[in-house]
């Protein structure tokens, strides 16, 4: 009896056919994940005034409470990303969401500063652990030309969650106490975890890269195109990725420096560090900086909120129009930000008609550039180590997030001149971002040429 020969599907080409309704649903689900991630992470910043009063926190203890989640994120970004490259993106995202919900809820029962620090550290582990996997899931699912844009869109969810934390605190804390803020947010995040159990997919690229059986992968591919399951494919391949070997943390980390990645990985780390330092210096002390320079406190707070949200939205818009043209174009935002920061730092426009517009536009350019830089952190890696790559980049960013308030508090808060120096230092950070993006654009071309040379012969196109 004659047998029908099997057919091979190049999953890379299949996923690049264009946006589908499933892609859009995935973006919505991912935005919900990062929204509640940002909500849970940012609660401490808005509840600190209540905590300081009730627990009589010293300035030193307040710093420890504030930085505990950052420390947890540093560790969680490495551990969660590594596990996601071993067991998959979906289980890590699910478990981190559940743990984040439970730990946020339990934080409402903290009775001492020490307990609060421990719970925030543990919560930071979960919050940091899911970011690289959710980036990877979207990068691996989106068609070419939409990958970096997808990352900026889902991180817009994180920014919106951070902004919502202030509103939740204002609505709940005055009548029910700071404890209820954590209870409400934790319960809402747990409800999301239940929804994710039925809606969050696994990455098909990751499944193919890990050699999962075709019968397990085809049902997921059918969500993109219902007809693919009836086409008789018996083998699935990724023509645009090299094979990786080894499951140990050392093997996966070493894969981040293979070929042209030996240049790209450190450039990503350095660029992300500079960008994160600039934005966390702004978020930690932006209101104090503006107040020192003569802007009334409530207006300073409003300006900080506006440029934060507009910066995240601007990052999405920038990537929508520049992603297909290469990474060099995202240098536009920090490039514009450099002279603006220097103009503020010169002290020449204090109190003048240009002062507030320049402050606002400068803050927006920092946010736009940072959103765009985040989009680059995982794009260049093979699926088998993509989450690990994003985790290491996130770890480097968290170092900057911890360092920025410490350096800023020590050098840039003493007086008006110190604040001006802070803006000048921000300009240096933005210049570092520009140089990093230019270097990345150069080495990205080398990586594309390298992968083209390694590509397998043309396969039968997907129908």
Instruction: Select from 3.40.50.300, 1.10.287.470, 1.20.1250.20, 3.10.20.30 the CATH code of 17-202.
Output: 1.20.1250.20
- Local confidence band at 246 (pLDDT 50, 70, 90 cut-offs): low
- Highest-confidence range of 17-31, 69-83, 100-114, 422-436, by mean pLDDT? 422-436
d(CA 263, CA 257): 7
**pLDDT attached to residue 238:** 83
Rg of the Cα atoms in the chain: 23
**pLDDT attached to residue 434:** 96
Q: For residue 422, what are its two tokens?
A: 């802070």
d(CA 344, CA 359): 7
pLDDT tens-digit series, residues 374-402? 888 878 888 778 888 888 888 888 888 87
- Local confidence band at 463 (pLDDT 50, 70, 90 cut-offs): very low
| Average pLDDT, integer, range 216-239 | 84
Mean of the per-residue pLDDT values for the chain? 85
Instruction: Decide if pLDDT at 30 tops 80.
Output: yes
pLDDT tens-digit series, residues 143-198? 887 888 888 888 888 888 877 887 888 888 888 998 999 999 999 999 999 999 99
3-class secondary structure, 259: coil
Instruction: Decide if pLDDT at 455 tops 70.
Output: no
d(CA 214, CA 234): 6
**pLDDT attached to residue 462:** 44
DSSP secondary structure string for all residues of 113-152: HHHHHHHHHHHHHHHHHHHHHHHHHHHHHSPTTSHHHHHH
Where do the domains of the chain lie?
A: 17-202, 249-454
Instruction: Decide if pLDDT at 458 tops 70.
Output: no
Instruction: Decide if pLDDT at 265 tops 90.
Output: yes
d(CA 244, CA 258): 10
Instruction: Decide if pLDDT at 66 tops 80.
Output: no
**pLDDT attached to residue 170:** 83
Stretch among 17-26, 60-69, 166-175 having the lowest mean pLDDT: 60-69
Instruction: Decide if pLDDT at 4 tops 50.
Output: no
pLDDT tens-digit series, residues 95-141? 999 999 999 999 999 888 899 999 999 998 998 888 889 988 998 89
| Average pLDDT, integer, range 334-361 | 93
CA angle (432, 433, 439) in 5-degree steps? 90
Yes or no: say if 186 and 101 are a contact pair by the CB < 8 Å rule.
yes
Instruction: Select from 1.10.730.10, 2.60.40.420, 1.10.3720.10, 1.20.1250.20 the CATH code of 249-454.
Output: 1.20.1250.20
User: What end-to-end distance do the CA atoms of the chain give, in Å?
Assistant: 27
| Average pLDDT, integer, range 388-417 | 84
d(CA 392, CA 272): 11
Sign of dihedral through CA atoms 197, 203, 206, 208? positive
d(CA 151, CA 261): 20
Residues in Cβ contact with 1 at an 8 Å cutoff, skipping those fewer than 6 apart? none
Q: For residue 70, what are its two tokens?
A: 């950052």
Q: What is the largest CA-CA distance in the chain?
A: 89
Closest C-alpha to 138, from 29, 13, 260: 29
- Local confidence band at 58 (pLDDT 50, 70, 90 cut-offs): confident
Yes or no: say if 133 and 200 are a contact pair by the CB < 8 Å rule.
no
pLDDT tens-digit series, residues 282-312? 876 777 788 889 888 667 767 777 777 788 8
Same fold yes or no, 17-202 and 249-454: yes
């Amino acid at each position: 009896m004659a047998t029908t020969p099997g057919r091979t599907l190049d999953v890379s080409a299949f996923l690049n056919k264009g946006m589908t309704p499933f892609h859009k649903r995935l973006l919505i689900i991912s935005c919900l994940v990062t929204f509640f991630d940002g909500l849970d992470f940012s609660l401490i910043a808005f509840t600190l005034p209540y905590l300081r009063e009730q627990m009589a926190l010293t300035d030193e203890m307040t710093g420890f409470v504030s930085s505990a989640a950052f420390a947890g994120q540093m560790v969680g970004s490495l551990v969660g990303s590594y596990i996601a490259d071993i067991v998959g993106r979906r289980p890590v995202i699910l478990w981190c969401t559940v743990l984040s919900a439970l730990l946020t809820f339990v934080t409402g029962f903290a009775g001492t500063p020490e307990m609060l620090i421990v719970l925030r550290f543990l919560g930071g582990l979960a919050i940091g652990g899911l970011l690289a996997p959710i980036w990877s899931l979207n990068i691996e699912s989106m068609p070419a030309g939409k990958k970096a844009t997808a990352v900026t869109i889902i991180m817009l969810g994180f920014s919106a969650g951070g902004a919502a934390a202030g509103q939740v605190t204002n609505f709940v804390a005055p009548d029910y106490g700071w404890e209820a803020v954590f209870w409400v947010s934790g319960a809402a995040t747990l409800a999301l975890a239940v929804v994710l159990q039925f809606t969050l997919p696994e990455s098909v690229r990751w499944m193919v890269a890990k050699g999962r059986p075709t019968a397990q992968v085809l049902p997921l591919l059918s969500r993109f195109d219902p007809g693919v399951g009836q086409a008789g494919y018996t083998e699935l391949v990724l023509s645009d990725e090299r094979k990786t070997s080894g499951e140990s943390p050392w093997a996966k980390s070493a894969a981040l420096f293979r070929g042209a990645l030996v240049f790209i990985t450190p450039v990503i780390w350095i660029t992300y560090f500079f960008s994160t330092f600039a934005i966390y210096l702004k978020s930690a002390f932006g209101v104090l900086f503006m107040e020192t320079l003569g802007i009334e406190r409530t207006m300073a707070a409003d300006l900080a909120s506006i440029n934060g949200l507009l910066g995240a939205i601007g990052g999405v818009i920038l990537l929508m129009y520049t992603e297909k043209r290469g990474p060099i174009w995202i240098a536009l935002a920090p490039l514009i930000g450099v002279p603006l920061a220097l103009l503020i730092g010169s002290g020449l426009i204090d109190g003048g008609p240009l002062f507030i517009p320049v402050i606002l536009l400068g803050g927006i350019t920092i946010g736009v550039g940072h959103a765009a830089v985040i989009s680059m952190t995982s794009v260049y890696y093979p699926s088998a180590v993509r989450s690990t790559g994003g985790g290491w980049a996130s770890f480097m960013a968290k170092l900057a997030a911890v360092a920025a308030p410490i350096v800023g508090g020590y050098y840039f808060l003493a007086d008006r001149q110190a604040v001006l120096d802070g803006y000048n230092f921000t300009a240096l950070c933005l210049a570092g971002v520009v140089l990093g993006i230019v270097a990345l654009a150069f080495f990205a071309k080398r990586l594309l040429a390298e992968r083209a040379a390694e590509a397998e012969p043309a396969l039968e196109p997907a129908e």
